[in-house]
A = this chain, B = another copy of it.
Amino acid sequence: MNYRARLERIWDAMAKDGIAMTMFEDCEARRDTTIRWLTGQPGDALLFLSADRKSLLVPWDMIIAGKRATADEIVPYNDFDRIASKAIRAAAERFALPKGAKVELPSATPYPAFAAFASALEGFEPICREKGTADLTLSMRAVKDADEIAILRKATEITNEIIDMLIREAVAGRLNTEADAALLIELESRKRGCEGTGFETLSAGPARSFGIHAFPPWGAGPFATRGLSILDFGLCYEGYNTDITLTFARAPDPKQEEMLRLIEKAAAIAQGELLVGNRSAAVAAKIDEFFAGHGRRMAHGLGHGVGLDVHERPFLRNNPSADMELKSGMVVAVEPALYDPDLGGCRMENDFLITDSGPEMLTRSRVVRI
């Protein structure tokens, strides 16, 4: 991975904003995969970047960091009693920041925690911005580089192999419980070298498919029996996530069939809108309008970017706060869906690479009529 090229862009932005040091934090309460994006460290660490283009990684597990992470310096978090405010003070001193220098905290820093950092940073100027360095990196990450696209292609290839297996098993009558589907995904993904499923598989038979996110995610109950079953899963390969949803429809009644046709039509319309230059909110608005024209309302957004996070920019939501221009190199999951407390739910989700010559469909999930 070309971590250095990514870091250079961040250092440039820091210089522009007059930031002497910025901090990233990945901890149990606040995950931040940007640390992996910048160093390879898969989690549980602090990362400090200084304006003079140095990086300092402070991981919880030094053994894992030693095997995976790249940084100018690596110091164990235990040296600071695993207290972030102690580590930030030490980092500022190690980088020999000038008095009064601007030190940026992660934008996810809880409001009451700011005071503890400010106190630890006496002599410096602590800042915490919504549109700060973290925000910039999230927007940078929305456009994948060649290394990332190669990994995502491999991740979607494996996802497609498993989609094909699932469909074959279901049609053959061997996918009879939610657990059958979930365990097949768990095992086959690991056999193919995946780090895991990127999120807990949602495997919901007809009695439970009404939930946007079925709860519990999966159980031992029937699957792919008469009616609508939803299977939403994603694989994580070298840190990068896929996210797809299959709907299995066994002998759907006319009302269920109507729902299925609507989401299939919505998926086709959405795909046609995944064009460089389009606005993400406008794509989502188009699908909301389509459903509204049929007297329906989708209870969630239309889609989202995928990458080191399962849900990342660009967000395809009919909401100005998340709006972004679509660019070549973005990878998005598109998931039109409808839910009914009595008829059950259906969702169809595929991942697309946006290119200058139009969207490339990377996955092949679909409504499977049995």
Which chain A residues have a beta carbon within 8 Å of chain B's beta carbons?
A: 28-30, 42-44, 60-64, 66, 68, 78, 81-83, 105, 107-114, 128-130, 132, 178-179, 182-183, 186-187, 190-191, 193-196, 200, 210-213, 215-220, 236, 297, 299-300, 311, 319, 321, 339, 341
Contacts and interface: CB of A to CB of B under 8 A. Distances in A.
A220 B192 CA distance: 9
Contact of A110 (B109, B183, B194, B216): B109
B43 A215 contact: yes
Nearest to A132: B112
Given A63-B210, A110-B109, A213-B61, A321 B83 contact: yes
A187 B196 contact: no
A3 B218 CA distance: 26
Nearest to A309: B28
B183 A196 contact: no
Contacts of A187: 179, 183, 220
20 contacts: A43-B213, A63-B341, A64-B211, A64-B212, A66-B341, A78-B297, A108-B110, A109-B110, A109-B111, A111-B111, A112-B128, A112-B132, A179-B190, A187-B220, A191-B220, A193-B219, A194-B216, A195-B219, A196-B218, A216-B236
Given A68-B215, A190-B220, 19 more contacts: A28-B311, A29-B108, A42-B215, A44-B213, A60-B212, A60-B299, A60-B300, A63-B339, A83-B321, A107-B111, A107-B112, A109-B110, A112-B130, A112-B132, A113-B130, A179-B186, A179-B187, A182-B186, A216-B236
7 smallest beta-carbon distances between A and B, as pairs = A112-B130, A195-B216, A111-B128, A190-B220, A111-B114, A61-B212, A111-B111
A190 B44 CA distance: 29
Contacts of A339: 63
Contact of A129 (B63, B112, B130): B112
A178 B195 CA distance: 12
A121 to B, nearest CB: 14
Contacts of A236: 216
Given A130-B113, A220-B191, A78 B299 contact: yes
A175 to B, nearest CB: 14
A200 B196 contact: yes
Contacts of A42: 215
A212 B65 CA distance: 11
Given A190-B220, A219-B190, A211 B112 contact: no
A61 B211 contact: yes
Nearest to A180: B187
A42 B43 CA distance: 26
Contacts of A111: 105, 107, 109-111, 113-114, 128
A40 B109 CA distance: 28
A307 to B, nearest CB: 15
Contacts of A341: 63, 66
Contacts of A299: 60-62, 78
Contacts of A130: 110, 112-113
Given A107-B110, A183-B187, A196 B216 contact: yes
A98 to B, nearest CB: 24
A190 B183 CA distance: 11
Nearest to A129: B112
Contacts of A178: 190
A191 B219 CA distance: 7
Contact of A319 (B44, B60, B81, B200): B81
